[in-house]
Amino acid sequence: MSGEGPSTPDVMAVMVEDLQNLPVKISVPIPTAWNAKEDLMDILALMHTRPERTTIAHRLFRFYESCAASGLPELERRATTVNTWWPEIEAAIISGVSNAGSEGINRSMKTDARAAYGYRNPANQRLRARCATTRRARGHLTTHTSGRHSQPRHPRT
């Protein structure tokens, strides 16, 4: 056992004790916000699991309930945001599909344009955007680290 760090329950116990020693104005909102965040993460964790709609509804209700019971305006705004975006969130949970890839490409193009402080030649801008967003396909972003992105993607047949 020597050389190992403290276990998660030990760390959590120390954190909870530290929070209880703070003034109520601080010690109550922090765990409340933390728990609401965990409720939201429980909903998002359903992605790629083919969940039953009742499971999704139960977790969503628990999230809304914790936000409403908190009395914190920040959590009420968070619940409103989730409610506004719920059709999109639910579609991502059920289908397992998101727009992360297109958002990443868009971010790469904007970063490239900012680095050049804008382009005077539209044809050059299109060429630079294409180069910035197709590096992986051309083999320039292949990494040799561990993890799910450690190997280059195989072309679909």
Task: Please give the residue range of the domain that contains residue 48.
Answer: 8-95
The verdict on 40 and 73 lying in the same domain is yes
Count of structural domains within the chain: 2
Q: What is the 3-state secondary structure (H, E, C) of 21-66?
A: CCCHHHHCHHHHHHHHHHHHHHHHCCCCCCCCHHHHHHHHHHHHHH
Q: What gap in Å lies between CA 106 and CA 112, rounded to an integer?
A: 10
The verdict on 86 and 104 lying in the same domain is no
For the segment 138-157, what is each residue's pLDDT rounded down to a tens digit?
665 555 444 454 444 445 54
Q: Are 34 and 78 in contact (CB under 8 A)?
A: no
Let me know if residue 151 belongs to a domain. no
Let me know if residue 124 belongs to a domain. yes
Q: How far is residue 9 CA from its own chain's centroid?
A: 24
Burial class (CB in 10 A: 0-12, 13-18, 19+), 133: middle
The verdict on 19 and 90 lying in the same domain is yes
The verdict on 39 and 104 lying in the same domain is no
Q: Are 32 and 19 in contact (CB under 8 A)?
A: no
Which residues in the chain come in under a pLDDT of 70? 1-7, 115-119, 135-157
The verdict on 65 and 30 lying in the same domain is yes
The verdict on 19 and 88 lying in the same domain is yes
Q: Which two tokens stand for residue 97?
A: 């599909």
Instruction: Give the residue among 34, 45, 48, 25 at the shortest CA–CA distance from 78.
Output: 34
The verdict on 79 and 12 lying in the same domain is yes
pLDDT computed for residue 150 by the predictor: 47
Let me know if residue 27 belongs to a domain. yes
Sign of the Cα pseudo-torsion (42, 43, 47, 50, in order): positive
The verdict on 12 and 79 lying in the same domain is yes
